[in-house]
Amino acid sequence: MKKILAKNVKGKNCLVRIDLNVSYNEENIKLKSSKETIDFLLKNGAKKIVLISHFGRPQGEKENYFDNYLKEESLYIFADILKKIYKHKVWFISESIYDPTFDEVFNSIQEGIVLLENVRFYNENTDLFLEKMSSLGDVFINEAFSVSHRDSGSVLGLSEKMISYAGCNLVKEVDTINSFLKKTKKPKMLVLGGAKIDEKLKIGKHFLNEDYDFLLLGGALANIVLRYIGFETGISFVGNQAYMVLKNLDYDKVILPCDFYVLDENGNKAYRLINQIRKSDNILDIGPKSIKLFFEYLKKAKTIFWNGPLGCVDDEDFDDGTRMFINELLKLKSNILVGGGDTLDIVTEFKNRISRKKNVFISTGGGALLTYLENEKLKGLKNLE
């Protein structure tokens, strides 16, 4: 893929892969990340801009997905949100691309921005999907760094089938991450939270092997390690048992939380030290002593990479640990890279402070960023130029 130029889009129908797999918050960094590319296309005479994205985890190829566009995993609500972000009308087509009425509706829109329904309502990795979807545009533009590590048809498949370009933000992310990699200096520290336990623990092990000094864990990642080394974790989420990874971690370099906020057996929020967790407790956040412990290490770091919240940020009662962590992180002068995913919504609230910090970069990628940092490349991005 190559960087997009004005001559590549003038008079063209442009199929643009964006990522709307976030909360309905127009201030979300990921939602805003596609604006520069859309502005570029509008300014340089693109005829029709066709947006495709996924949302949630529907299984694909179920007829009832298209029975009613007011469904939980529909993209219909994003049309109004994107309209505010792009400051331009956004048409939404609720019909399946295979429905005979789709072509009639699609062709009736001669120019402007069109948002199609959730691509995960389909089986993306079929010739039928790729043929139909690729027929809707003259060129394909990838503006979804956050899913560029996936082999899905709406990312890799279309990029291989069509004349393809990298969107403005995707280029910016790759350039910034490459710059981060070049500027890394020891001490280097990795902070991991959130879910996707097996994947993140493997990457944590990789980073430690690649000379990162310490791995600091929160969220479910901390829970499974605590359970593995013999601490009580109650009914807390621990995901799959990644014992082979846990067995081979260098625990001299792993820093774990020492206090928590839990949901107790009565449904109340309670504070616990690490040795006070009960069998009925559900660990949902790290406590202030853990934050203090973490920053005894982080304040010495010259390079910090953070991916994933340290508590259940979907619940306001259990997002204080992550908020405290961000507040302290932004006081540091280290070279800091923050991964996206579940972290983006809560990081967005600190955007004014972050915008003034030249040493901090917020990526829209979660798993994609981890993959990139592990391999220093992504499929389809290796020859980005």
Measured between its terminal Cα atoms, the distance across the chain in Å is 7
Least confidently predicted of 158-167, 169-178, 343-352: 343-352
DSSP 1-69: -EE--GGGTTT-EEEEE----S-S-TT-HHHHTTHHHHHHHHHTT-SEEEEE---S---S--GGGGT-S
What does the block give as tokens for 179? 């710059």
What residue ranges define each of the domains in the chain, with the CATH number in brackets? 2-170 (3.40.50.1260), 184-375 (3.40.50.1260)
CA atoms of 74 and 21, how far apart (whole Å): 11
Kindly indicate the confidence band of residue 378, based on its pLDDT and cuts at 50, 70 and 90. Answer: very low
* Percent of the chain predicted with pLDDT > 70: 92
Considering the entire predicted model, what is its pTM? 0.86
- Angle at which helix 197-209 crosses helix 219-228, to 10 degrees, equals 80
Q: State the CB neighbour count (10 A cutoff) for residue 46.
A: 27
Q: Would you say residue 63 has pLDDT above 70?
A: no
Residue type, 82: L
N residues, the chain: 385
Q: What is the pLDDT of residue 380?
A: 45
Average pLDDT of the chain to the nearest whole number? 89
Residue type, 257: P
What does the block give as tokens for 369? 């960023």
Kindly indicate the confidence band of residue 306, based on its pLDDT and cuts at 50, 70 and 90. Answer: very high
Per residue in 81-92, pLDDT tens?
A: 999 999 999 999
Per residue in 112-163, pLDDT tens?
A: 999 999 999 999 999 999 999 999 999 999 999 999 988 899 999 999 999 9
Q: Would you say residue 382 has pLDDT above 50?
A: no
Kindly indicate the confidence band of residue 69, based on its pLDDT and cuts at 50, 70 and 90. Answer: low
What does the block give as tokens for 187? 């001490």
What burial class does residue 365 get, using C-beta atoms within 10 Å of its C-beta: 0-12 exposed, 13-18 middle, 19+ buried? buried
Residue in this structure with the two tokens 């798993």, named with its chain if needed: 367
Name which of 248, 250, 309 is nearest 284 in CA terms. Answer: 309
Q: What is the pLDDT of residue 377?
A: 47
Q: What is the pLDDT of residue 226?
A: 94
Q: What is the pLDDT of residue 284?
A: 97
CA atoms of 119 and 235, how far apart (whole Å): 35
What does the block give as tokens for 357? 């910090």
Residue type, 54: H
What burial class does residue 101 get, using C-beta atoms within 10 Å of its C-beta: 0-12 exposed, 13-18 middle, 19+ buried? exposed
Per residue in 177-197, pLDDT tens?
A: 888 888 889 999 999 998 777
Q: Which residue would you say has higher pLDDT here, 16 or 243?
A: 16
Average pLDDT over residues 71-75: 85
Tell me how far CA of residue 126 lies from CA of 148, 247, 305, 356, in angstroms: 18, 39, 37, 45
Q: What is the pLDDT of residue 150?
A: 85
Average pLDDT over residues 262-269: 97
Per residue in 272-284, pLDDT tens?
A: 999 999 999 999 9
Looking at residue 291, what DSSP letter applies? H
Tell me how far CA of residue 11 lies from CA of 90, 111, 168, in angstroms: 18, 10, 19
Tell me how far CA of residue 298 lies from CA of 179, 204, 257, 293, 361, in angstroms: 21, 16, 14, 9, 17
CA atoms of 186 and 338, how far apart (whole Å): 18
Do residues 95 and 102 touch, judged by C-beta distance below 8 A?
yes
Distance of CA 353 to the CA centre of its chain: 21
